[in-house]
Structure 1
Amino acid sequence: MSNKRIIEAVFLDRDGTIGGDDTVHFPGSFELFPHSQELISKLKKDEIKVFSFTNQPGISEGKATSQEFIDELTKFGFDDTFICPHSHNEGCSCRKPNTGMLLKGAEKYKLNIENCIVIGDRWSDLVAASKANCIKILVKTGAGNSALNEHYDKIKDIDIEYIAENIKDAIDWLYRQFEIKDLSFSS
């Protein structure tokens, strides 16, 4: 029996992590990276909850609706979506780098947040994950290189478990490092 931690859920950022680039693309114009949907399906097949958590201030600006994002993300295969619809200056508790979306997901699904992985491309993804005590993976796609360079001062004190080239590299690392199923219940 391995002494590796059991992973209960993966929280994936949207823009720059599973598709798109370092800007927001509204539903209908957002394109997934190759393999993103397949990787989401693989995690789910292996009984890991997969959630999207994303800041989308365009909702409060009337550029898109929460339901449009929910419909799109559900189509991509996510078990649930956690969306902050607020603008940068609204002072909510859900907008990354705050932990609201992560804690809401952990509470809703009765997860031990320390057994959850956050994969994102922005400094705010990593700060939220660090505050919530999640396992942190930074992808270099989207704003990932910017997080490592221009915004490094915001993450320099965070113990990032892995810096991945892309979502496929991140998920491959996850499978090498952690127990994916609790085999103690197998017959």
Structure 2
Amino acid sequence: MSTSRKIQAVFIDRDGTIGGSEEVIYPGTFKLFPFAKQSFEVLVSAGIPIYAFTNQPGISRGDATNGDFQDELTSFGFDHVYICPHQHEEGCTCRKPSSALLIQAAVDNDLELKNCAVIGDRWTDMIAAQRAGCIKVLVKTGSGEKDLAKYRNNQFFGEWLEAAPDYVAENVLEAVNWLLK
């Protein structure tokens, strides 16, 4: 499948997608993958806004602040940052796989989500994108390879199974290049 529609914006997950690992690494010690900065440059040169889209439960635990993540992510080149600061047990409405952060971004930025893409390394990213009607791109970095294997081995059911990615990329740069074809 290729994307024949004009991409209005790209939502990109943080941990495992643009850097770090499948574990949360807090601002100050988080390192981008070598190809991540280039992927941002490609999107910027194409005139496509880039939004961070991430769950960061360490904020509610006091391990870091929302401002720490906002500052870090905007310094990487994100135009705007959408963060769920809650832990899974808190039962919030914004934590992925919810599409609430995507919907809020659409309202804030006058976006049609069917013309937007989500790039992430976890199946929860794919489900949030599916629920919002976005293009779904899974990267094999971080948890991507492991989540892809679960999907291929039929370990996901129902809505989780229906959230198959539109494209599977080795990394975020390949994902961006595919979106812009």
What TM-score, normalized to structure 2?
A: 0.92
Residue 126 of structure 2 contacts residue 164 of structure 2 at CA under 8 Å; is this kept in 1?
no
Question: 1:170 maps to what in 2?
Answer: 175
% same residue: 49
Q: How do residues 112-151 of structure 1 correspond to structure 2 at under 5 angstroms?
A: 112-150=112-150
Residue 130 of structure 2 contacts residue 163 of structure 2 at CA under 8 Å; is this kept in 1?
yes
Question: 2:37 maps to what in 1?
Answer: 37
Residue 38 of structure 2 contacts residue 173 of structure 2 at CA under 8 Å; is this kept in 1?
no
| 3-state SS of paired residue (2:106) | helix
| Aligned counterparts of 1:150 and 1:114: Cα–Cα separation in 2 | 26
Question: 2:90 maps to what in 1?
Answer: 90
| Aligned counterparts of 2:174 and 2:42: Cα–Cα separation in 1 | 14
| C-alpha displacement of 1:38 | 2.2
Question: 1:68 maps to what in 2?
Answer: 68
The residue identity in structure 1 corresponding to 2:156 is D
Give the alignment partner of residue 153 of structure 1, picking from 147, 156, 166.
156
Q: Do residues 106 (structure 1) and 106 (structure 2) align? A: yes
| 3-state SS of paired residue (2:17) | coil
Structure 1 unpaired stretches of 5+: 177-187
Quote the RMSD (CA, aligned, Å): 1.4
Q: Which has the larger radius of gyration?
A: 1
What TM-score, normalized to structure 1?
A: 0.89
| Aligned counterparts of 1:9 and 1:75: Cα–Cα separation in 2 | 18
| Aligned counterparts of 2:144 and 2:38: Cα–Cα separation in 1 | 22
Question: 1:57 maps to what in 2?
Answer: 57
Question: 1:22 maps to what in 2?
Answer: 22
| C-alpha displacement of 1:160 | 1.6
User: What is the number of residues matched between the two proteins?
Assistant: 174
| Aligned counterparts of 2:150 and 2:58: Cα–Cα separation in 1 | 24
| Aligned counterparts of 2:29 and 2:40: Cα–Cα separation in 1 | 20
| 3-state SS of paired residue (1:153) | coil
| 3-state SS of paired residue (1:59) | helix
The residue identity in structure 1 corresponding to 2:170 is E
| Aligned counterparts of 1:8 and 1:171: Cα–Cα separation in 2 | 13
Could you list the per-position Cα deviations for residues 56-107 of structure 1 after superposition, in whole angstroms to 9, with x for gaps in the alignment? 0000000000000000001001000000000011111110000111011111
| C-alpha displacement of 1:14 | 0.1
| Aligned counterparts of 2:114 and 2:62: Cα–Cα separation in 1 | 35
Q: Which has the larger helix fraction?
A: 2
Question: 1:80 maps to what in 2?
Answer: 80
| Aligned counterparts of 1:13 and 1:28: Cα–Cα separation in 2 | 18
